[in-house]
Amino acid sequence: MTTTQHEYVPGLAGVPAAKSAISNLDGQQGILKYRGYDIRELAEKSNFSETAWLVIEGNLPTKAELDDFDYDLRHRRQITFRIRDILKSLPATGHPMEALQAGVAAFGMFYPKNIRDPRLNYESGVRLVAKLPTIVAANHRLRNGDDPLTPRDDLDHAANFLYMLTGEEPDPFAAKIFDVCLILHAEHTINASTFSAMVTASTLADPYTVISSAIGTLSGPLHGGANERVLEMLKEIGSVENARPYIEEKIRNKEVIMGMGHREYKTMDPRAIILKGLCQQLFGESGSTPLYDIAEEVEKVMAEKVGAKGVWPNVDFYSGIVYDKMGIPVDLFTPVFAVARVAGWVAHWREQIADNRILRPTQIYVGEADRRYVPMEERG
Amino acid sequence: MTTTQHEYVPGLAGVPAAKSAISNLDGQQGILKYRGYDIRELAEKSNFSETAWLVIEGNLPTKAELDDFDYDLRHRRQITFRIRDILKSLPATGHPMEALQAGVAAFGMFYPKNIRDPRLNYESGVRLVAKLPTIVAANHRLRNGDDPLTPRDDLDHAANFLYMLTGEEPDPFAAKIFDVCLILHAEHTINASTFSAMVTASTLADPYTVISSAIGTLSGPLHGGANERVLEMLKEIGSVENARPYIEEKIRNKEVIMGMGHREYKTMDPRAIILKGLCQQLFGESGSTPLYDIAEEVEKVMAEKVGAKGVWPNVDFYSGIVYDKMGIPVDLFTPVFAVARVAGWVAHWREQIADNRILRPTQIYVGEADRRYVPMEERG
């Protein structure tokens, strides 16, 4: 029991839980940086495997480092038949995030772990980044009664994932856009799932366990899943003509409009700006879709009505439209988020154990002070 | 971004993260209460299923409530063949806590969930309390190449678990002591695993996911596993004669002695007092063991040397000896902790969602401020 009295802040909002050197954001300016690098620059010039290295290791890799890391990632994509058997045993009706949480906890059992050994920690990180897409894709194919596909080491991280999902080698431009989506979701300071990874990590649990906790936390509808709901909203709107009355009514009734605004950004979410540009290219090149046309109209009406108040489309507004266009089913949007964010989770796990202190806050007790046990015969 | 500046406290030690009405402890007096009831009274007069109800629902059950709850617990112990298949696919060499984390995440996929529905939440809690022991026991038997045993609904919670593990109906006195161990571990305010459950719960994730996170966090060596290490220490001491020199040397070298002292209790851990009494009965009745004799000597030497400083044996000191005597393998000690604590986790999950605010603290950024991307050719 500590004698210092700290203030109770619901949700620990604004309470610092760690010193961290992984990412930071400036909500006023709309800037997000990984390890000091602006994500606008990373989205333009880097790729997911280089960005994953940067996020985890702290610096841009040398050529030799990137070659090794990329090789390691490509060659650790396979999952054993036992993990496939586990996925086969899961009901097709369950949510793929639960399958992913179970799969990651299970596959940790197959590997040596000793968090005092930097080489093993590197290997664990590689395995997690490399195999998460394979679990997501294998589970998706199995629930549809299809054989899972063997990962292809001649494809990069993004292209291989799309291949494992659909069985078709993706169009290079679509794969490139998907790669940018992975970069944009690789890290975002301490949110609930990252914090959950840190809490689990702080007991010195193994990295697979840590990531499994983070996946569980991401699965909650208040955290992951916002882009799923954007897509549902666009489908509900149904036509370009219906966009204006739909949005106006929502604003009048002070109802939440999905994919708009962000707790942290007071200007447009920088990830949304990048994705919006990519959307324009993607849909410009391969033709628009009814959903994209509706999204453009929603954006226009929103800019007109509440843009001046700083309410802009966020990253979730565009990512769902992109994933939908690529044929990714809606209930895989959150697993795709995990496929990207695993880089950040691994980085926070490594940062936590490098200077560990168990994360164990306290409570304010508001319950009964003193009650005496009453024998069953005497209870009312 | 909040503008209020809160102090950074490493590990959030002493920082209140919630208002809670589930349990409280007085470290000066050595008192632990669940819902206002002293655990000394519960250990003497209650049983695990009644205590689980109390912890989860907030009050002692009426006869009708307890009859229903106990019936529900007994009849939801079975796990499906698919969960057994999953456990069969896991390598026998992995830690049973990983199997438990995977199993719980997986079995959530089989059930309806809607955390706005109190009846479903009750059902989820019952399933978790009822099925965790079955997963632990089934996984243990499978890793030894034995068939898992069908749970027996004619046995109470504690006796059925020991039966599923060993295939033998336990001695009633041993089962009673094991039941008390479950009562004593059912809840203990906000520690790391409970906090982890709350973080995951705060995103409105489903209860199976929440408990899976908590299990992951409990698996860390800084959290669960202390009683494993007590047993290792007693084995290392090896003989009653060696206890005094061993302890004296540890004290001289200021080394940690396992199972001694507790962060919260400044006097003897009340759970340890109860377990010590039960140990004396258990070993008095069925004969001592070399390990118990060593433990008694360690306790005597410690009382003499540092008892005055408030360093006393804690609950872990005795629980390992009890579990060992009952034939529970050392690497199941932490899973057994989970089998008891699931009651507390379920209670904290329910409390969290009843008045939810996402648990999302912030960070102090200490990394690079501004770096520019360097093309690969120009990197050093």
Question: Which DSSP string corresponds to B92-122?
Answer: TTS-HHHHHHHHHHHHGGGS---TT-HHHHH
Q: What is the mean pLDDT of chain B?
A: 94
Interchain CB distance below 8 Å, A206 and B98: yes
Q: Are B160 and B133 in contact (CB under 8 A)?
A: yes
Residue A287: other Cβ atoms inside 10 A: 8
Pick from A151-155, A213-217, A275-279, B77-81: least confident:
A275-279
Q: Are A18 and B365 in contact (CB under 8 A)?
A: no
Residue B333 to residues A41, A73, B327, B337: CA-CA distances in angstroms? Answer: 50, 36, 11, 6
Contacts of A148 (CB under 8 A, 6+ apart): A84, A87, A134, A137, A138, A141, A142, A164
Distance from CA of A244 to the nearest CA of B (A): 31
The β-bridge relationship of strands A23-26 and A31-34 is: antiparallel
Interchain CB distance below 8 Å, A358 and B41: no
Radius of gyration of chain B measured on its C-alpha atoms? 22
Which tens digits make up the pLDDT trace of A319-377?
Answer: 999 999 999 999 999 999 999 999 999 999 999 999 999 999 999 999 999 999 999 99
Please say if the pLDDT value at position A1 is more than 80: no
* Residues linked to residue A356 through DSSP beta bridges, in sequence order: none
Euclidean distance between CA atoms A140 and A146, whole angstroms:
9
Q: What is the mean pLDDT of chain A?
A: 94
Distance from CA of A165 to the nearest CA of B (A): 21
Order the strands of the B37-38 sheet from edge to edge. B23-26, B31-34, B37-38
Please say if the pLDDT value at position A154 is more than 60: yes
Residue A362 DSSP class: E
Euclidean distance between CA atoms A318 and B42, whole angstroms:
55
Which tens digits make up the pLDDT trace of A171-211?
Answer: 999 999 999 999 999 999 999 999 999 999 999 999 999 99
Alpha helices in chain A (DSSP H): 39-45, 48-57, 63-75, 81-89, 96-107, 118-143, 157-166, 172-184, 192-201, 207-218, 226-237, 240-252, 270-286, 290-306, 315-325, 333-354
Residue A186 φ then ψ, to 5°: -70, -25
Q: Are B310 and B303 in contact (CB under 8 A)?
A: no
Q: Are B319 and B330 in contact (CB under 8 A)?
A: no
Residue A33 φ then ψ, to 5°: -125, 140
Distance from CA of A316 to the nearest CA of B (A): 17
| CB pairs A-B closer than 8 Å | 383
Q: What is the pLDDT of residue B380?
A: 72
Interchain CB distance below 8 Å, A362 and B192: no
The alpha carbon dihedral of B162, B167, B169, B172 has a sign of: negative
Contacts of B155 (CB under 8 A, 6+ apart): B163, B169, B175
> At A93, is the secondary structure helix, strand, or coil?
coil
Nearest to B375 by CA among A47, A183, A31, A343: A47
Which tens digits make up the pLDDT trace of A263-304?
Answer: 888 888 999 999 999 999 888 887 888 889 999 999 999 999
Q: Which residue of A has its CA nearest to B377?
A: A63
Interchain CB distance below 8 Å, A63 and B358: no
Tokens 């010590």 correspond to B276
Our CA dihedral for B322, B325, B331, B332, rounded to 10 degrees, sits at -70
Which tens digits make up the pLDDT trace of B151-210?
Answer: 999 999 999 999 999 999 999 999 999 999 999 999 999 999 999 999 999 999 999 999
Residue A151 DSSP class: P
Euclidean distance between CA atoms B314 and B295, whole angstroms:
12
Instruction: Tell me whether residue A375 is exposed, middle or buried, using C-beta atoms within 10 angstroms of its C-beta: 0 to 12, 13 to 18, 19 or more.
Output: exposed
Q: What percent of chain A has pLDDT over 70?
A: 99
Euclidean distance between CA atoms B365 and A83, whole angstroms:
38
DSSP string, A260-319: B--SS-SS--HHHHHHHHHHHHHHHHH---HHHHHHHHHHHHHHHHHGGGT--B-HHHHH
Tokens 């001649």 correspond to A154
Contacts of A57 (CB under 8 A, 6+ apart): A65
**Cα A38–A304–A184 angle (5° rounding)?**
20
Q: What is the pLDDT of residue A3?
A: 45
* Residues linked to residue B18 through DSSP beta bridges, in sequence order: A363
For the entire predicted model, the pTM comes to 0.96
Q: Are A262 and A304 in contact (CB under 8 A)?
A: no
Q: Which residue of B has its CA nearest to A46?
A: B373
- CB-CB: which of B83, B105, B264 is closest to A101? B105
Q: Are A234 and A250 in contact (CB under 8 A)?
A: no
Q: What is the mean pLDDT of residues B137-141?
A: 97
Nearest to B18 by CA among A198, A264, A356, A13: A13
Euclidean distance between CA atoms B32 and B267, whole angstroms:
12
Residue A292 φ then ψ, to 5°: -70, -40
Interchain CB distance below 8 Å, B86 and A105: no
Which tens digits make up the pLDDT trace of B92-131?
Answer: 988 999 999 999 999 889 999 899 999 999 999 999 999 9
Q: Which residue of B has its CA nearest to A102?
A: B102
Which tens digits make up the pLDDT trace of B317-326?
Answer: 999 999 999 9
Tell me which of A156, A269, A316, A324 is the catalytic residue. Answer: A316
Euclidean distance between CA atoms A55 and A350, whole angstroms:
11
Euclidean distance between CA atoms B339 and B323, whole angstroms:
13
- CB-CB: which of A22, A62, A373 is closest to B367? A22
Interchain CB distance below 8 Å, B362 and A17: yes
Nearest to A141 by CA among A282, A347, A329, A287: A329
* Residues linked to residue B20 through DSSP beta bridges, in sequence order: A365
**Cα A164–A167–A172 angle (5° rounding)?**
80
Catalytic residues of B, which ones?
262, 316
Order the strands of the A37-38 sheet from edge to edge. A23-26, A31-34, A37-38
Q: Which residues of A touch B223 (CB under 8 A)?
A: 203, 205, 358
- Complex ipTM, two decimals? 0.95
Which tens digits make up the pLDDT trace of A100-133?
Answer: 999 999 988 999 989 999 999 999 999 999 999 9
- A188 catalytic per annotation: no
Decide which of A37 and A258 is more confident.
Answer: A37
Euclidean distance between CA atoms A323 and A177, whole angstroms:
10
Contacts of A32 (CB under 8 A, 6+ apart): A23, A24, A25, A38, A39, A188, A270, A271
- CB-CB: which of A90, A191, A366 is closest to B106? A90
Distance from CA of B328 to the nearest CA of A (A): 21
Interchain CB distance below 8 Å, A16 and B8: yes
